[in-house]
């Protein structure tokens, strides 16, 4: 078979780099070739995907998730590494230890704001894109905090989905305080690589200084039915009880409990392929975005 006979890929994928206040945001834009929301060549829906603590845009299920959201929800999908992710230019390894050490929740909120500002302006680094009519945000684990906090204050965000999301950023406060003690730096283990990663006092100072701005439950309440909370009953990192608590605070949010699913929906890195629990999480997310990312009338 000649190259001319090969089927065209379902997605166009474009990498980008965007400077943020505290570092560089590296990401990818995926655009479906035949999206149902494309009119006159313009994709009217866009979804931003946020990774969690010790995660990154190319970890495990994230490329699979982004591709499925693009193709099945007919949306442009932007995935990116937070500036404090610790992942360096090779996009795979924790080589930016200084960035990781000084990362905070407020910094991740600011990073997501930079991405949404670029989306609204139609440009992420050197990559150009058409500003959409409506935006969705999906956050996994700690990434749920930025998704909810930013989604609640940006009018263009019409839908937010959390996967295995933390219920409150303050769940970490006592742990950080105890681990740091009187010192300024602690270390956390990356179980996958065996690497010890440094964390400075910045994150604890941020929690104590910005309680109102980092109140996830208040933000979730403002989102109401625009919020879908997806969580597994076998989550070993964030207990499913946090999903129930956040759902109770949000009042009208939708809750999707996946029986037996762990923190990463039973996926690992490198990605071995999908599984029924991961696909259930993807399907619930696609349906939520399709229902809430409504296109504007011409």
Per DSSP bridges, beta strands 123-124 and 127-128 are: antiparallel
The pLDDT score that the predictor gives to residue 36 is 47
Instruction: Give the mean pLDDT of the chain.
Output: 93
Residues 6+ apart with CB under 8 A from 287: none
DSSP string, 128-146: E-PPPSEEEEEEETTHHHH
What residue ranges define each of the domains in the chain, with the CATH number in brackets?
Answer: 3-168+213-292 (3.40.50.1820)
Burial annotation 211-236 (CB, 10 A radius, 16+ → b, else e) = eeebbbeebbbebeebbbbbbbeebe
Handedness of CA 81, 84, 86, 90 (dihedral sign): positive
Distance of CA 270 to the CA centre of its chain: 19
Average pLDDT over residues 197-216: 97
Instruction: Please state, in angstroms and rounded to a whole number, the distance separating the CA atoms of residues 176 and 202.
Output: 10
Q: How many CA atoms lie within 13 A of 234 on its CB side?
A: 8
Output the pLDDT for position 153.
98
**pTM given for the model:** 0.94
Contacts of 175 (CB under 8 A, 6+ apart): none
Give the DSSP H or E segment for 30. Answer: strand 23-32
| Dihedral sign (CA 34, 40, 41, 45) | negative
Token look-up 């945000």 returns 137
pLDDT at 296: 54
Q: What is the pLDDT of residues 95-151, one digit of tens each?
A: 999 999 999 999 999 999 999 999 999 999 999 998 999 999 999 999 999 999 999
| Residues 25-42 pLDDT 10s | 999 999 987 654 444 456
Q: Is residue 177 within 8 Å of residue 246, measured between CB atoms?
A: no
Q: What is the DSSP secondary-structure string of 111-129?
A: HHHHHHHHHHHTEETTEE-
Can you give the pLDDT at residue 43?
72
Q: List b or e across 38-59, with b for residues whose CB sees 16 or more CB atoms inside 10 angstroms.
A: beeeebbbbbbbbbbbbbbbbb
Tokens of 188: 């956390």
Confidence at residue 42, expressed as pLDDT on a 0 to 100 scale? 61
Tell me how far CA of residue 137 lies from CA of 1, 68, 143, in angstroms: 40, 14, 10
pLDDT tens-digit profile of 218-266?
999 999 999 999 999 999 999 999 999 999 999 999 999 999 999 999 9
């Amino acid at each position: 078979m000649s190259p001319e006979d090969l089927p065209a890929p379902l997605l166009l994928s474009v990498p980008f780099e965007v400077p943020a206040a505290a570092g560089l945001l590296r990401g990818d834009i995926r655009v479906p070739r035949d999206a149902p929301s494309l009119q006159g060549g313009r994709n009217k829906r866009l979804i931003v995907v946020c990774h969690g603590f010790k995660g990154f845009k190319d970890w495990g299920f994230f490329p699979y998730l982004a591709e499925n959201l693009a193709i099945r929800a007919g949306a442009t999908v932007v995935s990116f590494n937070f500036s404090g992710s610790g992942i360096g230019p090779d996009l795979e390894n924790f080589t930016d230890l200084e960035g990781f050490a000084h990362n905070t929740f407020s910094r991740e909120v600011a990073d997501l704001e930079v991405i949404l500002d670029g989306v609204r302006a139609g440009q992420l680094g050197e990559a150009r894109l058409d500003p959409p009519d409506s935006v969705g945000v999906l956050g996994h684990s700690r990434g749920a905090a930025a998704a909810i906090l930013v989604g609640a204050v940006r009018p263009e965000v019409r839908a937010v989905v959390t996967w295995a999301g933390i219920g409150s950023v303050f769940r970490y406060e006592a742990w950080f305080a105890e681990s740091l003690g009187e010192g300024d730096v602690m270390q956390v283990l990356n179980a996958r690589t065996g690497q010890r990663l440094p964390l400075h006092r910045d994150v604890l100072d941020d929690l104590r200084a910005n309680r109102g701005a980092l109140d996830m439950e208040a933000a979730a309440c403002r989102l109401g039915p625009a919020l879908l909370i997806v969580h597994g009953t076998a989550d070993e990192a964030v207990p499913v009880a946090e999903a129930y608590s956040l759902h109770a605070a949000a009042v009208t949010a939708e809750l999707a409990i996946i029986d037996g699913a762990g923190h990463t929906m039973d996926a690992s890195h490198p990605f071995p392929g999908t599984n029924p629990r991961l696909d259930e999480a993807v399907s619930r997310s696609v349906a939520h975005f399709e229902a809430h990312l409504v296109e504007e009338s011409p």
